Structures are given as C-alpha cells and as structure tokens.
C-alpha cells in the first residue's frame, strides 16, 4: 500500500482524519460544529470538518458515506463520492442527507464520513468515427443480467 504525505491545517478543536484499522481504506472525517446539528428527514446540509489540505499533483481525495450511519439511520453523503481535487485549498465539508424517517442529530466530533486518498489518471479525449464492438454494447443499467 502506497503512502502519500498530505499537508493539512486544522481549525482549533478540529480533528485530523483517522484510520481506525490497519486495513482501512478510508480515514474517518469528524464534524467540527459549535453545537449539535439536527438533520430532519429529507434534509441535507454541508457539515464542516475544520480541515484544509494540499494533495500532491496526481492525487485526489474522495468523501464517502459511513456504512453504519447509512444502515442504522439512513444518513448518507450526497454527491458521493465527493471529489477533492489537488488544487482545492478550501475547507473540507461533507454534504449529509437524511434519508431516514426520524430526525438525526450530528454532534461535535461525530464521525460523519470517510476520506479515501487515491492516485488519479488523466484522459486525452479523442474524437473517433466510431467505437469498437463489445459484448455489452450500449446496454445500460441491468443490461449484464441479474443473478
């Protein structure tokens, strides 16, 4: 597993991302709030983390939902995975949505999302007169069959 150094700044009281196990792909992001925040059913909001980072060129960070929040409370991240580009220097905020039936309270310091840092490739998009054939062709969702 490749390790990359990512310079980071944090507002007072904000906690840096933290890997919770040796094999974890995502590091937990925590809410940096002055007090509890209630997210009503069907609601969404951008939750601050108090963190800023400088990813190296050729790398990105992806903000992803936490499975426990999704399963137990219906809380997910919109725009998922959210991409943080290497030239972004603003605060990392997590767009949380409540798809559950009950209000959900986010407390200061709660783990709200995961951050996955990964290398990025760039494509050169080239006009072509046509595309090669494939077994799937132009089939969309579900076109490869169901188990």
Tens-digit pLDDT profile for the chain (147 aa)?
778 999 999 999 999 999 999 999 999 999 999 999 999 999 999 999 999 999 999 999 999 999 999 999 999 999 999 999 999 999 999 999 999 999 999 999 999 999 999 999 999 999 999 999 988 888 777 777 665
Domain boundaries, the chain: 27-119
CB-based contacts of 104, cutoff 8 Å, min separation 6? 38, 39, 73, 74, 75, 98
> To which CATH superfamily is domain 27-119 assigned?
Deoxyuridine triphosphatase (dUTPase) (2.70.40.10)
């Amino acid at each position: 597993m490749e390790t990359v150094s990512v310079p980071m700044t944090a507002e007072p009281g904000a906690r840096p991302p933290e890997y919770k196990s040796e094999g974890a792909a995502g590091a937990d992001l925590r809410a940096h709030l002055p007090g509890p925040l209630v997210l009503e059913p069907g609601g969404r909001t951008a939750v601050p983390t108090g963190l800023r980072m400088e990813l190296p060129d050729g790398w990105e960070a992806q903000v992803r939902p936490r499975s426990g929040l999704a399963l137990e409370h219906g809380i997910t991240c919109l725009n998922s995975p959210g991409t943080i580009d290497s030239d972004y220097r603003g605060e990392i905020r997590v767009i949380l949505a409540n798809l559950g039936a009950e209000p959900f309270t986010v407390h200061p310091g709660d783990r709200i999302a995961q951050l996955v840092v990964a290398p990025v490739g760039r494509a050169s998009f080239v006009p072509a007169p046509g595309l090669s054939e494939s077994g799937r062709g132009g089939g969309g969702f579900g076109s490869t069959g169901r188990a």
